[in-house]
Structure 1
Amino acid sequence: MIELGEHRILGPKLVCETDDKVRLIRDRPKAASDRQKSYASLERHDIEYSVGDFVFLKVSPRKKVVRFGRKGKLSPRFIGPYQILKRVGLVAYQLELPLELDLIHDVFYVLILRRYWSDPSHVVSVEEIEVLWWNYGTEEGTWEPEDSMCQQYHYLF
Structure 2
Amino acid sequence: MPPYEALYGRKCRSPVCWEEVGERKILGSELVQQTKDVIQLIQKRLVAAQDRQRKYADLHRKNIEFEVGRNVAYEIALPPHMQHIHNVFHVSMLKKFIPDSNQVIEYEQVEIQPDLSYVEQPIEILDRKEKVLRNRSVPIVKVLWRNPKVEEITWELESDMLEKYPHLFVVGKRVEASSDLRVLALGPNRMARRFSGYVLNGYRFHTKSRDSKCTTQNSSVFLTAETTSFACSKDDNPKVGAVNYYGSVEEIVKVDYWGVFVVVLFRCTWYQEDKDPYGLTKVNFKKTICRSEYYVIASQVQQVFYVEDPTEKMVYYVIKKLPREWCD
TM-score class, shorter: under 0.3
Specify which structure has the higher proportion of strand. 2
Q: Which has the higher contact order (CA 8 A, sep 6+)?
A: 1
**Larger-Rg structure:** 2
Q: Under a length normalisation based on structure 1, what TM-score does the superposition of the two structures give?
A: 0.26
